[in-house]
Amino acid sequence: MNEILSYYNDLLLLIRSNTLLKRKGAKKFIILAFFTSFSLQAATVHVGKNYPIKSIKKAISLAGKGDTILVHSGLYKEGNIVIDKKISLIGQGYPILDGEKKYEVLSIKADSVQVEGLKVIRSAYATLTDPCGIKVYNKNFVVIQNNILDDNFFGIYIQNGKNCIIKNNKLRAYAKEEQYLGNGIHCWQSDSIQIIGNTVQGHRDGIYLEFVSNSIIWRNISKDNIRYGLHFMISNDNAYITNIFMHNGAGVAVMYSNNVKMINNTFEENWGASVYGLLLKDISNSYISGNQFAKNTSAIYMDGGGKNLFEKNEFRSNGWGMQIQASSYDNVITQNNFEGNTFDMSTNGDLVLNKFHQNFWDKYEGYDLNRDGIGDVPYHPLSLFAVLTEQYPSVMLLFHSFMVMLIDKSEKILPSITPDNFVDNQPLMKRKNL
């Protein structure tokens, strides 16, 4: 292969200098003959200031199916670069592809393309065409990995793709208002997408999925985004596992979706009015387990949907542990730890259609005479003050006052306003090791 590459580079040098043949059309003939001779073998085409080919677009035009284009370090301002054949575009030393705030930088319009090791910066801004750092148009088996994307409108965008991988990329944006910014990783009407090990910061939504199914979001860090760290819309049968969502404007939102697995994620320090660690809107038949919710205004806010299982989660130092609206039904909350939250639970109605079973509540003051680890007295996690605060937020001014503590104590002994069936009949005496 090295002999082929050496021959290829020498041939191109001779062609470019016009020393091999002077006749009209000879250059085109030699290039065609070369690619015909080696069409059965993938070649590596070098691009850079010290190589005969100095343009990425030129290298793509010369490359054959299955070839690798090796882009050496440097600054490349080539407008919109379109990959329309199965090739690998690999950067050495993170060459910079600069969209100059005028162009979508890299457009992928072929199956089985690999893009790796590039720094893609300064795409155009436009709300109608959604220009990106890297965008995949209706193609499959595309791999985008180990790239840096900086100051783009959208970062990486998969449109109607299948079996694509977005892995170990670093995405950063800087706008302060969401109308001037797109999402970091955006997938639309796609299937079997893998989003793994990326870091996304400063975008509108860190990761956004709409009409996406059978996909996995794993080991990503999404922080300091203007709106949501992760945003699902009408996306069924997906899983997000072991991700970190921190300091996002509104937390994480999963909406109008079914059969979603949310396992071992961290939701931390999402503070502010209408800000949640995790917002669940009309979610059904989903599994939420092993997650850490710490220092959020509301760890989980659930409105609508049902038949979800919440187990083995940690709720620590949040304003609200869970806000379960009356529209939610047949949810099971079991084997979770609630510690140091201002309010463990809250709701907006009298009807309770959910089950609480064997959770640890640090506010529980019951006893365990038979020492089986289960409290002998049921625990009502919904305090009267939480109910009042849900209806009249201004009463928070009275929090920790003697009168409020007295009312709450009385309510626990003789419940009158809080729903009777908002109860854990078997509260744990010790926190569960998760």
Is residue 198 classed exposed, middle or buried when 0-12, 13-18 and 19+ CB atoms within 10 A define those classes? Answer: buried
316 backbone dihedrals φ, ψ, rounded to 5°: -135, 125
Q: Where are the domains of the chain?
A: 1-41, 47-413
Kindly list the distances between the CA atom of residue 103 and the CA atoms of 58, 121, 245, in Å, as whole numbers in the listed order: 18, 10, 31
Name the token pair of 279. Answer: 């917002």
298 backbone dihedrals φ, ψ, rounded to 5°: -135, 120
d(CA 25, CA 18): 11
Per-residue model confidence as pLDDT tens for the chain (434 residues)? 444 444 445 444 334 334 333 444 444 444 444 444 444 467 999 999 999 999 999 999 999 999 999 999 999 999 999 999 999 999 999 999 999 999 999 999 999 999 999 999 999 998 788 999 999 999 999 999 999 999 999 999 999 999 999 999 999 999 888 888 999 999 999 999 999 999 999 999 999 999 999 999 999 999 999 999 999 999 999 999 999 999 999 999 999 999 999 999 999 999 887 899 999 999 999 999 999 999 999 999 999 989 999 999 999 999 999 999 989 999 999 999 999 999 999 888 777 789 999 999 999 989 999 999 999 999 988 876 666 666 656 656 556 565 556 666 665 655 655 677 789 999 999 999 87
Q: Which residues contact 133 (CB under 8 A, 6 or more apart)?
A: 99, 105, 106, 120, 121, 123, 149, 152, 154, 155, 156, 171
Name the token pair of 379. Answer: 């625990």
Q: What is the DSSP string of 23-49?
A: STTHHHHHHHHHHHHTTTS--EEEEST
CATH 2.160.20.10 is the classification of domain 47-413: yes
The three-state secondary structure class of 409 is helix
Instruction: Give the other-Cβ count within 10 Å of 381's Cβ.
Output: 24
- CB distance 167 to 194 below 8 Å: yes
Kindly list the distances between the CA atom of residue 99 and the CA atoms of 75, 134, 186, in Å, as whole numbers in the listed order: 11, 11, 19
